[in-house]
Structures are given as C-alpha cells and as structure tokens.
C-alpha cells in the first residue's frame, strides 16, 4: 500500500473553476465561428472570456439539493391551499384581476426567458457565462410552472384564467409583454442579456416583484406569496448575473460603451412601459393596498436605480435616456391606464371597476398634484353615466403604439392636458407612437418594428370587426370574463362562498 499523499487544499473559487470553466476547450477540428456563430454580429468586443467573474458558485449537486428543498415546501403549501379552499381567504374577488393579468401576460414571459437563457447559455463562448445562463434557463421554467400551478386552483373557481394560453398569443393587451420578450429574444445574445438579464432582472424586477408579492401577502393570497418567497433566492442569483454581465461588457473594451448605453436607453423605456400594468394593479386593483405606484417608484426606481447608475458612472454609463420622462409620467400613468382599461373592459379577460369614494380619497392623498385635478372629474363623470344606466364603453379601436403596443393613452410629459402622440413615416407607411421613447426605439431599428403584430388592426382585417368572433378566437367569454366587476359572476360566487365559509347561512 503506498503512502497517503495529502491532497491540495482547493479554495472555493479554484474548485469552482475546475468544475466549470476547465470543462471547455478551444475547438480545433471546427472553426470557433461555426460553434458560436452569433456572438460577433452585434459589435460587442470581448478579448478575454476568462476575465468573467462568476456571479455565484453553485455546482449541480448543490443546485439540486437547495432547489429540491424549496420545491417540497412550495408544493406542500399550495396543496394545502387548494385542499382548504384557500382562495376564500383573499380580501375580495377584485384582487383576482391582478392575478389574471399576471398569468396571461407575465408567466409567458418567464417561459420566454427560459428559452432565451437556454439560447444564450449555448451561444456565449465562455463556459462561466454559459453555466450561469443555463442555471437561469432552468430557473425560469421553474417560475413559469410554479406560477401556473399556484394559480391553477383559482381557475377552477373564477373566470378569466381559463384561456391564458390563447390570450397570450391573441388578446390585445398581452402583446405589450409578448412583444417585449419577443423583442429581446430576436436580438443578439449580448442585447438579450442587457434586456432581460440587466434591465428587466436588475433595474426593474423590484418594481414588478416586490409590489406584486407584497400585494399577494396583504390580500391573503397564500398561493402567490409562497411562489414569491420560493423564487426570491433564484431572483437574487439572476440579479447578480445581470450586473456581472454589464460590467463584463464594459470592462472588455471601451468600444462597447456606446452600444451598451443604447441598449440601456431602449430597454429601460421598453420595461417602463410594461410596468404600466403594475402601476394600475398597485393603485387600483388591490383591495388592501401596499403602497402607491409613486411610492414604489421612489424606493425601487429613484433610490435603487439612482445608486446603481451612480455605480456604473465609472464606466461612462449615464442614466437611461427616458429616465426624466418616466419620472414625469409616474403621477399620471396608473390613472390614464386604468381609465383606458375600464372603457375597453368589454375586451379584457379580467374585470375593472369604478373606484369607490374611499378609493378616490386614497388616490387624492397619494397623488395630491394630479388626481383631483385631472382624474377624479373623469371618474365622477363615468360614475354618473353608470348610475344613469348608460355606462361608458368604448367599442372603438384603440390606436396602439407600434413599439410598446399599449394604446396611445398617455399625455405629454410636460402637459397633462395634451395627449401625446408621435408619428414616423417609413417607406410610405405611417407608424404611431405613445411617446418619444417608443418613437426613438422604432427609428433606430425600423426594419424590426415594422414587423410587429398589432392585435387591433388584425381584429378588423381578419375578423371584419366581428367582436363575437374575436372573443371566441381569444378565448374570452362575454358576460363572464370581461366587463365591470360589479355584478360579475366572480363577485357573486365569491360573496356566496365566503358567506358559506364564515357564517351559518
């Protein structure tokens, strides 16, 4: 028996290097360009992939172990939630509109992120980068699935959830989120990382996730809040990956700066528009509110975002171009958007409603400079029409922004009485935009954005404006999924079932 030789003590970093980066090699039988064909065309220069700092060091054995523990807890809780009619513990069935929007528009985005990260997890020539992206790819399918599983029980008892897969591809408002993710996935691998890995996961995720999951907690939705807690440590990993990615690009070559800055400008504004949906949820859809959209923006936008861009200033990065316009829009966007949703509620697979007096007082207090001046009078008018039995409905088609696909419902950044509308003519066609930000994005890549699928025009072209046929096509059941919450089946059932659960009637 030979003598026992003491093994070298390996540090964590060195051990991780051996377990990951050391697995790769420079191909010699095939050209590197053939193996990684998409990594050069965007113009990002990388001189040394080894300079990549692993944002986290997780080998597969630990990944399986940690994730399995979280999975066990998650499914134990949502099983109990389903078994015990946990849906009756929510504050009010109005809350469900937020969940319906989430399942139709955001969960499909998780799946798109899964596919996108699998693609970049293959296309980057650096092993460290690839492994980090692959782990995010598998996490993202986890998020898509746990969200569907958490909301599956609500679908059994409430309307508006049942056709989420059809709504994802066909209904008008989901194309806001869909076009966002399609945009990122049709971009090259580096832009994808700035779009999803950095802008969405790092800069904007807190504005989506924290309000949403806190909203679930405040409103007694155990299923969703459990998903939120369970995803938290994944999200922390994704954020460090996004940050490492942008720093890596900026450190590799000074020529990368203008390209990265252009993407930041673009993806900040793209993301900000998607978050319009979250602003209405926070200000209007939560029966028990967490904080106003303005307050969330102060914390997660101004404070966190400000610190981040200060940190990136040493690379020459400045805050995104649309930042000031975003700030100006904060006190208006949720009101403008909710007024839009209410008037087009015949075409939404969720309910909207006229805010109560108490709701409006809260909105006045949270938006002292804008709500009473611009929006309360409009809600009062709408309420009068509803009381007179002639509710305000807009069956006309909203003009959609060619870039972000939201209806053109916003006002000029410096004048809340002027509706904001921009136009570009390209190859003899006119294109409409909701803002300077969206117009700039189009003008930089017109060939891409002329391809956008706009759901409203296709209602006319393909279905001859037949609204009933359109509803069948998008999976919307008239009189059940859509319209005002007051008088809806969701309202009736929830009140009746809750009565059965909490009284002896």
Kindly write out the interface string for residues 174-193 of this chain, putting x where it contacts other proteins by CB under 8 A and - elsewhere: -x--xx--xx-xxxxx----
In terms of CB distance, is 185 or 467 closer to other proteins?
185
In terms of CB distance, is 68 or 418 closer to other proteins?
68
400 binds other proteins (CB under 8 A): no
Nearest distance in Å: CB 310, other proteins:
32
262 binds other proteins (CB under 8 A): no
Please list, residue by residue across 185-208, b when 16 or more beta carbons sit within 10 angstroms of its beta carbon and e when fewer do: bebbbbbbbbbbbbbbbbbbbbbb
Contact in structure between 380 and 368 (CB atoms under 8 Å): no
In terms of CB distance, is 136 or 352 closer to other proteins?
136
CB atoms within 10 A of CB 314: 8
User: Which residues within the stretch 462-501 sit at the binding site for other proteins (CB under 8 A)?
Assistant: 475, 493, 497, 500-501
Binding residues with other proteins: total (CB under 8 A) = 99
d(CA 460, CA 32): 49
- Length reported for the chain: 505
Nearest distance in Å: CB 364, other proteins:
38
Member of 35, 236, 387, 469 binding other proteins (CB under 8 A): 35
Tokens, residue 85: 């009619």
d(CA 70, CA 146): 11
Helix (H, G, I), strand (E, B) or coil at 171: coil
Member of 146, 214, 224, 279 binding other proteins (CB under 8 A): 146
User: Which residues within the stretch 410-439 sit at the binding site for other proteins (CB under 8 A)?
Assistant: none
68 binds other proteins (CB under 8 A): yes
User: Which residues within the stretch 75-94 sit at the binding site for other proteins (CB under 8 A)?
Assistant: 75, 84-85, 88
Member of 158, 227, 267, 342 binding other proteins (CB under 8 A): 158
d(CA 276, CA 106): 13
Member of 44, 46, 93, 144 binding other proteins (CB under 8 A): 144
Q: CA nearest 126: which of 221, 214, 190?
A: 190
User: Which residues within the stretch 97-136 sit at the binding site for other proteins (CB under 8 A)?
Assistant: 108, 111-112, 114-115, 118-119, 121-122, 127, 130-131, 134-135
Member of 400, 452, 459, 471 binding other proteins (CB under 8 A): 452
Tokens, residue 66: 């940690």
First to last CA, the chain: 83
In terms of CB distance, is 453 or 460 closer to other proteins?
453
Q: Which residues on neighbouring strands pair with residue 411, listed in sequence order? A: 419
Nearest distance in Å: CB 225, other proteins:
18
Scanning 26-34, 387-395, 406-414, 421-429 for contacts with other proteins by CB under 8 A, the matching segment is 26-34
Q: What are phi and psi of 422, to 5 degrees?
A: -125, 155
Contact in structure between 446 and 413 (CB atoms under 8 Å): no
Member of 4, 314, 427, 430 binding other proteins (CB under 8 A): 4
Nearest distance in Å: CB 397, other proteins:
17
Contact in structure between 420 and 408 (CB atoms under 8 Å): yes
Member of 94, 100, 168, 440 binding other proteins (CB under 8 A): 168
Contact in structure between 350 and 97 (CB atoms under 8 Å): yes
Q: CA nearest 349: which of 477, 460, 463?
A: 477
Nearest distance in Å: CB 412, other proteins:
27
Supply the DSSP string of 224-246, one letter for each residue: HHHHHHHHHHHHHHHHHHHHHHH
Member of 49, 57, 89, 141 binding other proteins (CB under 8 A): 141
CB atoms within 10 A of CB 496: 11
CA 23 to each of CA 139, 173, 267: distance values in angstroms, whole numbers, following the listed order: 22, 45, 34
Nearest distance in Å: CB 354, other proteins:
26
204 binds other proteins (CB under 8 A): no
Nearest distance in Å: CB 60, other proteins:
4
């Amino acid at each position: 028996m030979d003598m026992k030789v003491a093994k070298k003590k390996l540090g964590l970093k060195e051990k991780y290097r051996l377990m990951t980066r050391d697995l790769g090699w420079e191909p010699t039988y095939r050209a590197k360009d053939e193996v990684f064909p998409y990594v050069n065309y965007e113009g990002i220069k990388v001189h040394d992939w080894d300079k990549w700092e692993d944002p986290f060091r997780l080998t597969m054995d630990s990944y399986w172990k940690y994730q399995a523990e979280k999975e066990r807890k998650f499914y134990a809780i949502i099983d109990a939630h389903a078994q015990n009619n946990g849906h009756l513990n929510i504050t009010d069935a109005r809350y469900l509109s937020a969940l319906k929007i989430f399942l139709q528009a955001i969960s499909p985005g998780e799946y798109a992120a899964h596919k996108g990260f699998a693609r970049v997890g293959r296309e980057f020539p650096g092993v460290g980068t690839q492994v980090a992206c692959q782990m995010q790819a598998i996490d993202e399918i986890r998020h898509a699935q746990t969200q569907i599983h958490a909301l599956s029980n609500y679908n059994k008892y409430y309307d508006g959830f049942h056709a989420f897969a059809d709504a994802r591809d066909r209904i008008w408002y989901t194309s806001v989120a869909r076009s966002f993710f399609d945009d990122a996935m049709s971009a090259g691998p580096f832009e994808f990382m700035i779009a999803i890995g950095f802008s969405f996961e790092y800069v904007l995720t807190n504005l989506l996730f924290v309000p949403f999951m806190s909203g679930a907690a405040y409103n007694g939705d155990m299923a969703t809040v459990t998903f939120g807690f369970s995803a938290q440590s994944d999200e922390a990993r994704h954020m460090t990956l996004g940050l490492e990615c942008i720093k890596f690009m900026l450190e590799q070559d000074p020529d990368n700066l203008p390209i990265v800055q252009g993407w930041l400008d673009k993806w900040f504004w793209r993301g900000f528009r998607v978050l319009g949906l979250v602003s209405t949820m926070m200000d209007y859809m939560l029966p028990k509110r967490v904080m106003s959209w303005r307050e969330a923006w102060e914390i997660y936008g101004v404070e966190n975002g400000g610190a981040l861009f200060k940190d990136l200033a040493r690379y020459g990065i400045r805050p995104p171009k649309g930042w000031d316009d975003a700030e100006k829009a904060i006190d208006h966007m949720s009101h403008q958007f909710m007024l839009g949703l209410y008037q087009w509620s015949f075409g939404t697979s969720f309910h909207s409603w006229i805010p109560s007096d108490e709701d409006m007082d809260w909105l006045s207090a949270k938006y002292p400079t804008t709500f009473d001046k611009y929006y309360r009078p409009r809600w009062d008018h709408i309420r009068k029409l509803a009381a007179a039995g002639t509710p305000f409905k807009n069956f006309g088609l909203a003009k959609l922004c060619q870039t972000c696909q939201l209806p053109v419902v916003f006002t000029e950044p410096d004048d809340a009485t002027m509706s904001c509308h921009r136009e570009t003519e390209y190859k003899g066609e006119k294109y409409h935009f909701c803002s300077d930000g969206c117009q700039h994005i189009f003008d930089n890549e017109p060939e891409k954005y002329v391809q956008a699928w706009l759901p409203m025009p296709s209602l006319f072209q393909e279905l001859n404006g037949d609204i009933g046929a359109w509803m069948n096509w998008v999976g919307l059941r008239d009189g059940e999924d859509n319209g005002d919450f007051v008088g809806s089946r969701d309202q009736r059932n929830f009140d009746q079932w809750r009565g059965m659960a909490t009284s002896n009637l």
